[in-house]
Amino acid sequence: MKALAVHPGVRNSVHLADIAEPQLSSVPNGRGVLVQTLQVGLDATDAEINEALYGRAPEGDQHLVLGHEVFGKVLEVGPAVTHLKPGDYCTCTVRRPGPTLYDLIGRNDITSHETYYERGINLLHGYMTQRFVDDAEYMVKVPVGLKHLGVLSEPASVCAKAIEQAYLAQQRLQVWEPKLAFVMGAGQIGLLTTMMLRLKGIQVYTLARTPEPGLKEEILQGYGASYVSTKTTPIGDLVKQVGRPDLIIEATGSSHVAFSAMEHLNLNGALVWTSVTGGKKTLSDFPSDRVNLEWVLGNKLLLGSVNGNRHHFAQGLSDLALGEVMFPGVTSRILTTPIDGYDDPQGLMRELTENNDALKVFVNVSEG
């Protein structure tokens, strides 16, 4: 069976690999689920793994199968599986348990172990294959009515978790009702986060560099949010116009933007970082003394949020469903760049890294 893979640590090594057919019996205790892969989303993580910025192959293998954003159809289930049946649509979580207490209680998304296991990213093969088997514990049913958005399940879970984590952490204040939010970045995570914040009735400004973003701005307007180009209106100027945000969610992939956002947060505010930056950039112009003073005196919060567990996937799907009701037809416009099959690995990566008009690149693996 063909799979899209890389040799971790080797730049631009994406290739087609031959792998064994998945076996339902490979998952113990009758909890296996055999899935036909329908679609797999690609994002900056896949591109950075192909650039050898991070990622490791499973023990004993020389290659890593890519693909962590999966949407599929159940073909067969083990005897202990109760929440899925053949014919159901499904998605899968990404991170798998390690040995810590958090992993043992089902919170492997916040493991405290330095070695982490993520399908298609680190030490576990991904989903860019025709079929795969996984444990039912890590699989979430996708409603038939959301089939057209199924490939957004994983990114939606990232957004849902980031927002949830901010609200949970802000319980420290006893009363926290954010009115104004900035979302840094207008890629898929930024757009979906904007949608979810608008569902909460928060005024949202979504910031990115492009002066005339076209489709991105249309989508944001469809959500009732505002697009701001930082090339024409720097974030400091925006703050002067609308005030300091109670919540900032950063999703740019730029560590410089992540740190710069710290300068503009409101008193008692929360800043959530979601970017994973695999480079070696450093900052020399960051006003650390002033930011340190303002953050301590202003009781401000910074937290990082990565991945999601089953709860976050379910919440993301719930928000996608409500978004379809509140903003009909808007979210599907994020799905700009379908690619039929993965027989051209280099062409696929070029589409992912060089197509500036692409909001969401995803592969149609099969029909179902």
> Residues 215-251: pLDDT tens digits?
999 999 999 999 999 999 999 999 999 999 999 999 9
Helices (H), the chain: 44-50, 101-104, 153-169, 188-199, 215-222, 235-242, 255-260, 288-297, 310-326, 345-354
User: Strand, coil or helix: what is 109?
Assistant: helix
What's the pLDDT score for residue 276? 83
Q: Report the alpha-carbon distance of residue 144 to residue 149 in Å, rounded.
A: 10
User: Strand, coil or helix: what is 169?
Assistant: helix
What's the pLDDT score for residue 368? 79
What's the pLDDT score for residue 95? 94
Cα angle for residues 86, 91, 94 (degrees, 5° grid): 135
Dihedrals φ, ψ of 273, to 5°? -95, 130
Determine if residue 341 is left, alpha or beta; phi over 0 gives left, psi from -120 to 50 gives alpha, anything else beta: left
Q: Report the alpha-carbon distance of residue 189 to residue 254 in Å, rounded.
A: 14
Residues lower than pLDDT 70 in the chain: none
Dihedrals φ, ψ of 172, to 5°? -60, -25
What's the pLDDT score for residue 38? 98
CB of 3 within 8 A of CB of 21? no
What's the pLDDT score for residue 217? 97
What's the pLDDT score for residue 156? 98
DSSP-assigned beta bridge partners for residue 271: 248, 302
Question: What is the chain's length?
Answer: 368
Query: What strands, in cross-sheet order, belong to the sheet with 226-229?
Result: 226-229, 203-208, 180-184, 247-250, 270-273, 301-304
Which residue's entry shows tokens 């289930």? 77
What's the pLDDT score for residue 277? 82
Q: Report the alpha-carbon distance of residue 79 to residue 346 in Å, rounded.
A: 41
Q: What token pair was written down for 53?
A: 């910025």
What's the pLDDT score for residue 155? 97
pTM of this prediction? 0.95
* Burial readout 135-163 (b: 16 or more C-beta within 10 A, e: otherwise): bbebbbbbeeebeebbbbbbbbbbbbbbb
Dihedrals φ, ψ of 352, to 5°? -70, -40
Q: Report the alpha-carbon distance of residue 193 to residue 252 in Å, rounded.
A: 12
Residues 6+ apart with CB under 8 A from 240: none
